[in-house]
């Protein structure tokens, strides 16, 4: 019996769970930001939170697409084709974190 090219599949499962946790953290932070920022920024805080929620959902969709592509490659060609297609989810996550940092910096300077 030859080993499966997928192995146990746990590497991709752990990656998918990590992306799920990241998206959940971004969603919670976006929604919690309304409570913190509303007194300072008013209704702009709701817009900031809405953008954060939209970006988190986009990040989730990109991460699911990326993990699905990796599963398809593993199933089709084995480990030699296990590279992931792009770095868009990682770049988007980085952009969201930088944007949150800038909003936090603005909040600190206002207070």
Domain ranges for the chain, please list them: 10-110
Show the DSSP H helices in 1-87 as ranges: 10-41, 44-77
Backbone angles phi, psi at 96, to 5 degrees: -65, -45
pLDDT higher for 10 or 3?
10
Q: Which of 39, 31, 26 is nearest to 110 (CA)?
A: 39
pLDDT higher for 38 or 11?
38
For 30-89, write each residue's pLDDT tens digit: 888 888 888 888 898 898 889 889 988 998 998 888 888 877 777 776 555 555 556 777
- The per-residue pLDDT for 73 is 76
Cα–Cα dist 32/12, whole Å: 30
Residue 10 DSSP SS3: helix
CA triplet 17, 19, 20: central angle to 5 degrees? Answer: 60
DSSP 80: G
């Amino acid at each position: 019996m030859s080993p499966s090219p997928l192995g146990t599949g746990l590497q991709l499962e752990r990656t998918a769970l990590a992306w799920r946790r990241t998206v959940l953290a971004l969603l919670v932070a976006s929604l919690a930001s309304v409570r913190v920022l509303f007194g300072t920024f008013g209704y702009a805080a709701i817009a900031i939170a809405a953008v954060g929620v939209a970006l988190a959902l986009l990040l989730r969709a990109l991460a699911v697409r990326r993990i699905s592509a990796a599963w398809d490659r593993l199933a089709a060609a084995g480990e030699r084709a296990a590279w992931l297609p792009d770095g868009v989810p990682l770049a988007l996550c980085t952009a969201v974190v930088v944007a949150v940092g800038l909003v936090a910096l603005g909040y600190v300077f206002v207070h």
